[in-house]
């Protein structure tokens, strides 16, 4: 019995010793590999790695599917930058994401901090493998140069090509790339295309700053008329000094999260099926014209399902938000300060809700945009309404201006006294209906009568004048 127990104990001790030896050997092997991996990763992050060829750059430890690293460092292509122009290097980094290199569902294109001058438009989405790609560059600036501004727009050539292809959808949307004066919005720094691989594009553009050498020229980010890269998220991006910060033409499922649009002519402009859009917790500040523009749509129905919440619209000289073609638009819980006009609702499709916003102060002028017919009736206002089914609820309005009403149709609800012309207010219980001319009918619930009131083009009328007219 003792011999058997002694033998069992010896075997148990031997098994423990063998296990410890195996564990120690494995740990030693793992520790031997870690420094090399760590050093290589540090070199990649610093942009100092020197791979043998483009197919084996850091992004390119992708010899076997499933074993590649998911990050492409644009600094690994710095040898392609020419005379300070980074556009060839950045394009090469994006073009490296292919199935041949082991990428089937996108990658992260990493921009280390720094300024990257761009002489030619960069395009994402020209390969099916670009589906799901992220452009990530916190601290990185893509600066459009004057050379970029001189690149050809090819608008007529594109129109002819679409006509030959009989692409009616894109051909109809193409005029959406022209501004209110019929001029092209300009050359973009970045273009997003549908990768034609799966449902949508699923791009994320995060942390990058888009700037311009010449102020208010071109476009920061553009989705052209010929493509519909659905499901795109812009997160923490900053867009400065462009003619149009972000221009979306005929695409939907777009999200803006914690973005800053500053010092552009127009911050964001969505046209033609600008559907299922959310703009949250972003800042639209000091646009030379408008902060956010929806529509007008070029030969298409309204842009629908637009949610605008928790944003700041400040010191935009025209309108903070200009709705020229939206339907089912919800403007909720935003802060408006020192804009020429805070919100303009001119959509022919109606159904705009403005709820629980704070309106405070005004810019020095609003470019005299508030017209009725051919006459300017007001330089600035909190909200300008010429649409049907407009709901204004639970908003807080600063003193000095009110709501300018050009049209009442459908089921309109107002939660503040209407302002028909500069300085004209109406007492509690009055409603305003458009006359179809240069004036309005003011209805008093106290007297049950309508009184026609002409718009004041001269000196501002007083509140007392408004009350007297309403009481007649």
Residue pLDDT, tens place only, 184-233:
999 999 999 999 866 789 999 999 999 999 988 999 999 999 999 999 99
Cα–Cα distance, 15 to 444 (Å, whole number) = 98
Mean pLDDT to the nearest integer, 417-423: 55
Contacts of 96 (CB under 8 A, 6+ apart): 54, 57, 59, 60, 72, 77
Range list of H helices, 151-210: 155-165, 168-173
User: Please, are residues 294 and 276 in contact by the beta-carbon 8 Å criterion?
Assistant: no
| pLDDT of 289 | 94
pLDDT of 421-449, one tens digit each?
Answer: 545 556 666 666 655 555 666 666 666 66
On the question of pLDDT at 180 being above 70, the answer is yes
Mean pLDDT to the nearest integer, 400-407: 70
End-to-end CA distance of the chain: 120
pLDDT of 253-267, one tens digit each?
Answer: 999 999 999 999 999
In the CATH scheme, what is the code of domain 69-471? 2.160.20
For 24, counting Cβ atoms within 10 Å of its Cβ (0-12 exposed, 13-18 middle, 19+ buried), the class is exposed
| pLDDT of 201 | 94
User: Please, are residues 438 and 455 in contact by the beta-carbon 8 Å criterion?
Assistant: yes
Cα–Cα distance, 437 to 340 (Å, whole number) = 24
Mean pLDDT to the nearest integer, 269-282: 95
Instruction: Provide the residue ranges of all domains of the chain, joining segments of one domain with +.
Output: 69-471
| pLDDT of 14 | 61
Among 5-9, 40-44, 61-65, which range has the highest average pLDDT? 5-9
**Average model confidence (pLDDT) for the chain?**
80
**pLDDT confidence of 455, banded at 50, 70, 90?**
low
Cα–Cα distance, 253 to 276 (Å, whole number) = 5
Closest CA to 89 of 59, 67, 69: 59
**pLDDT confidence of 70, banded at 50, 70, 90?**
confident
User: Please, are residues 126 and 98 in contact by the beta-carbon 8 Å criterion?
Assistant: no
Cα–Cα distance, 305 to 229 (Å, whole number) = 18
On the question of pLDDT at 34 being above 50, the answer is no
| pLDDT of 333 | 98
Three-state secondary structure call for residue 59:
helix
| pLDDT of 210 | 98
**pLDDT confidence of 385, banded at 50, 70, 90?**
confident
Strands of the sheet containing 430-434, edge to edge, are 430-434, 439-444, 449-454
Length of the chain: 472
**pLDDT confidence of 404, banded at 50, 70, 90?**
confident
pLDDT of 344-380, one tens digit each?
Answer: 999 988 899 999 999 987 766 667 777 766 667 677 7
Cα–Cα distance, 133 to 70 (Å, whole number) = 10
For 148, counting Cβ atoms within 10 Å of its Cβ (0-12 exposed, 13-18 middle, 19+ buried), the class is buried
Structure tokens at 26: 């494995």
Question: Higher-confidence residue: 64 or 140?
Answer: 140
Mean pLDDT to the nearest integer, 389-394: 89
Helix, strand and coil content of the chain, in percent to the nearest 5, comes to 20, 35, 40
| pLDDT of 428 | 65
Strands of the sheet containing 390-393, edge to edge, are 71-73, 108-110, 134-136, 203-206, 232-235, 254-257, 277-280, 303-309, 326-332, 352-355, 390-393
Among 361-365, 394-398, 454-458, which range has the highest average pLDDT? 394-398
Do the strands 71-73 and 122-124 form a parallel or antiparallel pair, or are they unpaired? unpaired
pLDDT of 77-116, one tens digit each?
Answer: 999 999 999 999 999 999 999 999 999 889 999 999 999 9
Omega prior to 63 cis, within 30 of 0: no
Q: How many CB atoms lie within 10 A of CB 48?
A: 11
DSSP sequence for 382-451? SEEEEEESEEEES-EE-TT--EEEEEEESS-B-SS-B--STT----TTEEEEE-SSSEEEEEETTTTEEE
Contacts of 348 (CB under 8 A, 6+ apart): 302, 325, 387
The pTM assigned to this predicted structure is 0.79
Mean pLDDT to the nearest integer, 234-247: 98
Half-sphere exposure of 230 (CA within 13 A, CB side): 10
């Amino acid at each position: 019995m003792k011999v058997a127990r002694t033998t069992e104990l010896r075997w148990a001790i031997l098994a423990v010793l063998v296990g410890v030896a195996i564990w120690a050997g494995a740990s030693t092997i793992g520790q031997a590999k870690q420094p090399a991996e760590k050093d290589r990763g540090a070199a990649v992050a610093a942009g100092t790695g020197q791979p043998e060829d483009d197919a084996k750059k850091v992004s390119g430890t992708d010899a076997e599917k499933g074993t590649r690293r998911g990050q492409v460092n644009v600094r690994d292509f710095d040898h392609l930058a020419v005379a300070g122009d980074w556009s060839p290097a950045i394009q090469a980094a994006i073009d490296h994401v292919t199935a041949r290199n082991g990428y089937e569902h996108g990658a992260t294109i990493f921009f280390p901090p720094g300024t990257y001058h761009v002489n030619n438009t960069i395009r994402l989405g020209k390969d099916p493998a670009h589906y799901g790609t992220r452009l990530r560059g916190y601290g990185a600036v893509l600066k459009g140069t004057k050379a970029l501004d001189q690149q050809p727009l090819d608008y007529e050539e594109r129109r002819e090509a679409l006509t030959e292809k009989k692409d009616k959808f894109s051909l109809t949307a193409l005029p959406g790339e022209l501004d209110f004066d019929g001029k092209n919005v300009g050359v973009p720094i970045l273009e997003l295309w549908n990768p034609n691989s799966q449902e949508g594009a699923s791009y994320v553009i995060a942390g990058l700053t888009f700037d311009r050498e010449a102020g208010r020229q071109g476009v920061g980010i553009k989705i052209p008329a010929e493509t519909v890269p659905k499901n795109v998220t812009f997160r923490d991006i900053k867009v400065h000094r462009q003619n149009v910060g972000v221009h979306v033409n005929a695409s939907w499922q777009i999200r803006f999260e914690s973005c800053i649009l500053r010092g552009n002519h127009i911050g964001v402009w969505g046209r033609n099926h600008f559907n299922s859009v959310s703009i949250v917790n972003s800042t639209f500040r000091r646009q030379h014209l408008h902060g956010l523009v929806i529509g007008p749509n070029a030969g298409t129905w309204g842009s629908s399902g637009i949610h605008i919440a928790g944003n700041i619209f400040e010191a935009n000289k025209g309108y903070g938000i200009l709705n020229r073609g939206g339907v089912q638009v919800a403007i909720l819980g935003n802060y408006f300060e020192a804009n020429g006009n805070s919100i303009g609702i001119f959509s022919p499709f109606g159904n705009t809700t403005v709820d629980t916003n704070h309106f405070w102060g005004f810019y020095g002028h609003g470019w005299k945009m508030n017209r009725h017919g051919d006459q300017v009736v007001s330089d600035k206002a909190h909200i300008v309404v010429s649409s049907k089914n407009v709901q204004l609820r639970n908003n807080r309005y600063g003193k000095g201006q009110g709501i300018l009403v050009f049209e009442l149709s459908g089921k309109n609800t107002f939660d503040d006294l209407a302002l028909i012309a500069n300085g004209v207010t109406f007492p509690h219980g009055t409603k305003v209906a458009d006359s179809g001319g240069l004036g309005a009918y003011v209805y008093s619930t106290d007297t049950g009568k309508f009184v026609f009131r002409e718009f004041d083009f001269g000196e501002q009328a007083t509140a007392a004048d408004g009350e007297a007219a309403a009481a007649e």
